[in-house]
Amino acid sequence: MKILRSLVGDALSIAKTYGGGAVTPQSLGQAIFYDGYAVLAMNRVREAARRWHVPGVNRILRLTQIALYGIEIGKGVELGEGVVFVHTLGIVIGGDARVGDRVRILGNITIGTAKENGYPRIGNDVTIGAGARILGPVTVGDGATIGANAVVLSDVPPGAIAVGVPATIRVLPPNARSGP
């Protein structure tokens, strides 16, 4: 079953995060009893309920996510494997946003749109700082870091660090060229 594979994959990926790259019984226990894993598991069940056309389940679980964890994830959102919600409170991911594998999301962030002109695409292994806003049809490259309270309105290259309001690239990846 796809949902069971997803749940196990998510647990193992999150356990690697807590185990310093290795899955240990302790890190697996931390992952499974972690609030962020509960949110991710509920989202996987929501996806399956929509796929199987089970009425009411998506709505009930969405409201449960909001009430218990303070997180709202739209029904068109795609979450990659092992997304880590470090703090769930105040997180909104809307529309048809795509969030890659092993993305670390701190609290009070928004991934959405300001002008109904499209939704972000977040690469793999990205860290999104507390209070950040990623708005519009932007792409955040693999391994990038979005600083706390940054407002991202344009693309962020892979491996870069974006900070400020509006966000600017402050640190380019080591292999980036400077100049023409």
Q: Give tens-digit pLDDT for 132-157.
A: 999 999 999 999 999 999 999 999 99
Among 7, 41, 87, 143, which one carries the catalytic annotation? 87
In a domain, 19, yes or no: yes
CATH of the domain at 10: 2.160.10.10
Domain residues for the domain of 158 are 2-171
pLDDT tens readout for residues 63-106: 999 999 999 999 999 999 999 999 999 999 999 999 999 999 99
Pairing, β 78-79 against β 104-105: unpaired
Q: Is 69 inside a domain boundary?
A: yes
Locate the DSSP E strands across the chain: 71-73, 78-79, 84-85, 91-93, 98-99, 104-105, 110-112, 121-122, 127-128, 133-135, 139-140, 145-146, 151-152, 161-163, 168-171
Number of domains in the chain: 1
Is 87 in the active site?
yes
In a domain, 14, yes or no: yes
What are 160-164's contacts with CB under 8 Å, separation 24+?
none
